[in-house]
Amino acid sequence: MEAAPHTPAEPTPPANPVELTVTSPEQMRELGRRLAKLLRAGDLVLLSGELGAGKTTLTRGLGEGLGVRGAVTSPTFVIARVHPSLGDGPPLVHVDAYRLSGGLDEMEDLDLDVSLPESVIVVEWGEGKVEELTEDRLQVVIHRAVGDTADEVRRVTLTGLGGRWAAADLTVLSA
CB 20 within 8 A of CB 173: yes
What is the rounded distance in angstroms from the CA atom of residue 104 to the CA atom of residue 108?
6
Look at residue 3 in the predicted model and tell me its pLDDT: 46
Instruction: List all residues 6 or more positions away from 58 whose beta carbon is below 8 Å from its beta carbon.
Output: 28, 29, 31, 32, 35, 47, 140, 142, 156
Look at residue 163 in the predicted model and tell me its pLDDT: 92
Look at residue 98 in the predicted model and tell me its pLDDT: 73
How does pLDDT run along the chain (175 residues), one tens digit per residue?
444 444 444 555 566 799 999 999 999 999 999 999 999 999 999 999 988 899 999 999 999 999 999 888 876 666 778 888 999 999 999 988 776 665 555 555 555 665 668 899 999 988 877 787 888 999 999 998 776 667 789 999 999 999 999 988 999 998 6
Task: List Cα–Cα distances, 102 to 6, 105, 129, 134, in angstroms.
Answer: 32, 7, 7, 18
CB 144 within 8 A of CB 153: yes
Look at residue 108 in the predicted model and tell me its pLDDT: 55
